[in-house]
Amino acid sequence: MINDRLSSMSAPPESKKIIALSSHAYIGLGSNLDNPIQHVRAAFKELDEIADTQLLEQSPLYRSAPVGPAGQPDYINACALLQTTLAPLQLLDALQAIENSHQRVRKERWGARTLDLDLLLFGQQTIDTQRLQVPHPYLAERNFVLYPLVDIGIKAHLPSGEPIAKLKQASNNAGLERLEKNS
């Protein structure tokens, strides 16, 4: 009787199996307020705590000159590589929840902030909606993104096939200073 029940609970046919597909996502981290190094270090840990998501790599930290409104402090920037089974918008929700937990206040575009988490690349997907653009629109023109991204993703490339390492080669390190790993 018990054996009968067990056999009727056997594994579903191949076509009904749920296969959790995971994606690699590169995240850009930035902070220039209230002890930026601490915000970025804490954010690495919080990225690893996102549901259905694992932190695979974290880059060294960089100090960078601010792009945007004048008079704001230098930034600390870094990149992270995540493996996730979340959809891109679910991941964006999780990134924004982490930003909010760092008392992020949105006053002006490109203004000073305690923590900014940008979704740089999501697998080989191209996304162009009002709420989310991937690859991140300014990825190719920002050395504070390209340098840490290549540190952890030497083989990363855009959906077009363009290697990120090539974009880095075409940039320069003006205003950028690499800090010691884990500093």
**For 175, phi and psi rounded to 5 degrees?**
75, 10
Q: Is 48 a catalytic residue?
A: no
Q: How many residues bind Mg ion (CB under 5 A)?
A: 2
Nearest residue to ligand A4P by CB is 30
Show the DSSP H helices in 49-172 as ranges: 88-101, 143-152, 164-169
Assigned token pair, 87? 């959809």
For the chain, the maximum distance between any two Cα atoms, rounded to a whole number of angstroms, is: 77
From the list 57-65, 93-101, 116-124, 141-149, the region that binds Mg ion by CB under 5 A is 116-124
Nearer to Mg ion, 116 or 151 (CB): 116
- Alpha-carbon separation of residue 173 from 5, 15, 118 (angstroms): 66, 51, 21
Catalytic residue among 41, 118, 142, 151: 118
Catalytic residue among 63, 116, 142, 151: 116
Side chain identity, residue 150: V
Assigned token pair, 17? 């199996």
Q: Of the candidates 130, 42, 134, which has an alpha carbon nearest to the alpha carbon of residue 87?
A: 134
Catalytic residue among 34, 48, 74, 104: 104
Which among Mg ion, ligand A4P, none contacts residue 102 (Cβ within 5 to 8 A by kind)? none
Please select the residue that binds Mg ion; options are 116, 135, 142, 148, rule is CB under 5 A. Answer: 116
Closest CB 93 distance from Mg ion, rounded Å: 14
Q: Is 118 a catalytic residue?
A: yes
Which among Mg ion, ligand A4P, none contacts residue 39 (Cβ within 5 to 8 A by kind)? none
Q: Which stretches of the chain bind ligand A4P, using CB under 6 A?
A: 30, 64-68, 75, 77, 106, 109-110, 116, 118-119, 131-134, 136, 138, 144
The Cα–Cα gap between 99 and 147 comes to: 22
Binding flag, residue 99, Mg ion (CB under 5 A): no
Q: Compute the radius of gyration of the chain from its Cα atoms.
A: 19
Which among ligand A4P, Mg ion, none contacts residue 88 (Cβ within 5 to 8 A by kind)? none
Which residues of 5-115 form beta strands (DSSP E)?
A: 23-31, 53-58, 62-64, 75-84
Active site residues: 104, 113, 116, 118
- Residues forming contacts to Mg ion in the complex (CB under 5 A) are 116, 118
